[in-house]
Amino acid sequence: MDLFVDKLLPALLGLLAGIVGSLIAPWVNWRIEKKRSKQQSRKELIDNARKFLASKEWVQTEFNSTVTYSEIRPHLSQETINMIEKGELIIRRGRGGNVIHSAVLDDLAQKEKEWGIR
């Protein structure tokens, strides 16, 4: 019994811990990398959309037919989508400039906050 407790039990526990560790560690690392990659993709989506909105390519009447719009559409509020696609403008007091442009930027800022990007 002393041989088992002194020699075999620690060896078996070490082997078991090694097996469990070798199975769990890669999975944990994979989950971390997956989350990091998802956050990076989200950040790039928002950055690219902002660059487009700031560029000379931005034309309100053609925005709904752009690649940028199709990429960000699933992340826009229904109110903003209705403004773009149906022309249902909602004027917000205190905001100047292009209403749709401002609404898209507001939705992007909200997504940044929701996703914890900045």
Cα–Cα dist 94/117, whole Å: 27
Q: 39 falls in which pLDDT band (50, 70, 90)? A: very high
Say what the pLDDT of residue 92 is. 67
Say what the pLDDT of residue 113 is. 95
Cα–Cα dist 68/48, whole Å: 8
Residue range 89-113: mean pLDDT, rounded: 84
Residue range 86-107: mean pLDDT, rounded: 80
CB 108 within 8 A of CB 50: yes
